[in-house]
Amino acid sequence: MPELVFNSFVTLLVVVDPVGLALIFAALTRGATEEYRRRMAIKGVGISAGILAGFTVAGGGLLGALGIGIPAFRIAGGALLFLLALEMVFARQSGIRSTTAREQAEASQREDISVFPLAIPLIAGPGALTAVLLFSGGGFYLPNVLVVLFVVAVVLLITLACLLLAARLVRLFGKTGGDILSRVLGVILAALAVQFIIEGLQTSLGLG
């Protein structure tokens, strides 16, 4: 159980990347009032909490309805997280975790950015959804589900704190500091992703 807590926390924290997210949030809300930033941050994190919690509890049932087994999802999810790790390490934007210039331009014209692009895809994106489903065992194991829900709450509280302190983090890290941090976290995520793929293959081939 301690291993599950640690691995799920590290994976979700790396995928969401609260510091990097705060730098993006600062750019999206440049020129906005402090009250607006606070409202968008709280609302965006709240929406993300609902999405991630729902996927943690019911994601496995959805996969079952589609005829997809957990081992297959481990392999596919591991591959997706590995692509995300490559994006972080090489600072490439593939759309898994980032928004395009067109999406950012659209967001800048919106009065409410809490749903798009903040909650989806920046916080509760494909990588985060994959992570919670993998660690919760598809929602079929209550202890795992409770652990993942706890981890989601902790990571989102950290994320909210970073969003509320976005302006200070921009001054502290700057773009270069943010890029360095993202690359280091990307290497860690790559190792975890490979482990997911190995476990999925072992289960599928009856080697586990």
pLDDT in tens, 120-151: 989 998 899 999 999 998 777 899 999 999 99
With pLDDT > 90 as the criterion, what percentage of the chain qualifies? 50
61-120 per-position pLDDT tens digit: 888 888 888 888 889 888 998 998 898 888 776 555 555 566 556 555 557 899 998 999
158-170 per-position pLDDT tens digit: 999 999 999 999 8
pLDDT given for residue 106 in this prediction: 58
Per the CB < 8 A criterion, the answer to whether 122 and 15 are in contact is no
Total-model pTM: 0.82
Asked if pLDDT for residue 156 goes beyond 60, the answer is yes
Asked if pLDDT for residue 60 goes beyond 80, the answer is yes
